[in-house]
Amino acid sequence: MGQISFKKWRVPTWTLVAVGLLFNIVSALLTNFYIDDLNRQTNEIAQLQQNNDKLIQLTWQQLETVERKREHLLEVLNAAEIVGASVPEEIAAHLARDMAYWLPDASIVPDIKGVPALMAALDVVQDEHREKINNLYLTNQALIGENAKKTEAVSRLRSLALFLQMLGLALVLARDLNWSKDS
């Protein structure tokens, strides 16, 4: 029977060192360009989410303010109705100015006859605010998903960069290994 001969492959040491250094350089570039850019993007998304949260809070406060203005107007008109008199002119002017901020296009006459139209106009204002809150909330939900994808990509790239560093280090250190015929 014929003998099977095994040929040893010898890779020059400088090749292992060069490949190891190349892996370390690729790892550094990966970290510097891709991972840092993704981190910047995730920070921008987080900032946008915080801004949207603040806008949601402010819009909710405005919604509550409109409701308080509505209640105040109804209380004043109800008190005037109970007394059997009309709203004093100074108070009516103040109420009209107060409502004009929220209803700039409407002519506001604070009396019992105008209450249904005034309440309908305030309902429209509140509905617009609710719609704005809903849109901001949905935008934040989309941003959360986008941020999760970017964070996952950062994690994968970090793992890849670490793997490349470890492999590069192993190849650089391989030059110190002594390969003998006994092993």
Closest CA to 80 of 117, 121, 114, 126: 114
DSSP state of 85: S
d(CA 95, CA 68): 12
Q: Give the global pTM.
A: 0.73
Distance CA 62, CA 15 (A): 69
Give the whole-angstrom CA distance, residue 54 versus residue 16: 55
Q: What is the mean pLDDT of the chain?
A: 86
pLDDT > 60? residue 50: yes
47 pLDDT above the threshold of 70:
yes
pLDDT value for 179: 52
Question: CB of 123 within 8 A of CB of 63?
Answer: no
Angle at the Cα of 126 from the Cα atoms of 123 and 130, rounded to 5 degrees: 135
In tens, the pLDDT along 135-145 reads 999 999 999 99
Longest dimension (CA), the chain: 125
Tokens of 97: 């100015």
**pLDDT for residue 181 is more than 60:** no
